Amino acid sequence: MNEPRNDDPLIDVREVTKAYGHGPDALAGLTLRVRAGEALAVLGPSGSGKSTLLNLIAGLDRPTSGSVTVDGVRVDRLGETASAKYRRSRIGMVFQFFNLLDDLTVTENVLLPAQLSGMPRVRAAARAAELLARLGIERHARARPGRLSGGERQRVAVARALMNRPPLLIADEPTGALDSVSGAEVRDLLRGLNADGQTLVLVTHDLSLAESLATRTVELVDGRVARDFPAVTR
């Protein structure tokens, strides 16, 4: 594994294709570089390849051709164990429907990534408490996520995603299941994290979310980057 150089992009996706048997390629020679500190919104119609791109960046799938490098790691060459380790240490993921475990408390959910990566318990507990306080959900520490509002659940999911201090936070429609007030809170939370230096890749259908959160927006069409533009409103 090569160490990344300072001037290397955090994400370097080169000439990637992804074929799923029948039909046109889900990704058709896509190239995308993302620098540390960017908040990138990925837009595009359904079927344009957004989820496929996220899966390749997260090492959940492999490209048919081309390369995917994240934080100096050739993600497309990792085996299963190395890929799981890569995700634990370098990627935080936030999903539309939170993906929290309702048999566990809020704190236990947030601690999971630390336990999987072997972080010492005392350090993990301190980190979890710090995150819950920072995200304004410390009073729910011992509650089950199912008892919280959607916006609170998404904040728990963000806390969990940040537990291992990943260089990259990926959010897939993070406000898609929230009412407008909760959605705005989660948007502000993500914007604050990015302002503090957290690199963010956001997939969304919501143009206003992209406009208010992203420092750069790319639009995928037919598995390629059709447009790539800096934020105008942020």
How far CA 136 is from CA of 71, 131, 152, 213, 234, in Å, comes to: 30, 8, 9, 20, 24
Q: Shortest gap between Cβ of 152 and ligand ADP (angstroms)?
A: 27
Nearest to 174 by CA among 18, 54, 32: 54
Q: Shortest gap between Cβ of 213 and ligand ADP (angstroms)?
A: 19
Q: Shortest gap between Cβ of 228 and ligand ADP (angstroms)?
A: 16
Q: Which is nearer to ligand ADP, 34 or 106 (CB)?
A: 34
> Strand, helix or coil at 59?
coil
Determine the Cα angle at 87 with ends 83 and 89, to 5°: 115
Q: Shortest gap between Cβ of 22 and ligand ADP (angstroms)?
A: 8
Q: Which is nearer to ligand ADP, 26 or 162 (CB)?
A: 26
Q: Shortest gap between Cβ of 36 and ligand ADP (angstroms)?
A: 25
Contact status, residue 132 vs residue 143, Cβ threshold 8 Å:
no
User: Which residues contact ligand ADP (rule: CB under 6 A)?
Assistant: 20, 23, 26, 44, 46-52
Contact status, residue 163 vs residue 2, Cβ threshold 8 Å:
no
CA distance linking residue 106 with residue 104, whole number of Å: 7
Both tokens assigned to 12: 């370097």
Q: Which is nearer to ligand ADP, 49 or 145 (CB)?
A: 49
Q: Which is nearer to ligand ADP, 20 or 229 (CB)?
A: 20
Question: Taking the CA atoms of the chain, what radius of gyration do you get in angstroms?
Answer: 17
Q: Which is nearer to ligand ADP, 44 or 151 (CB)?
A: 44
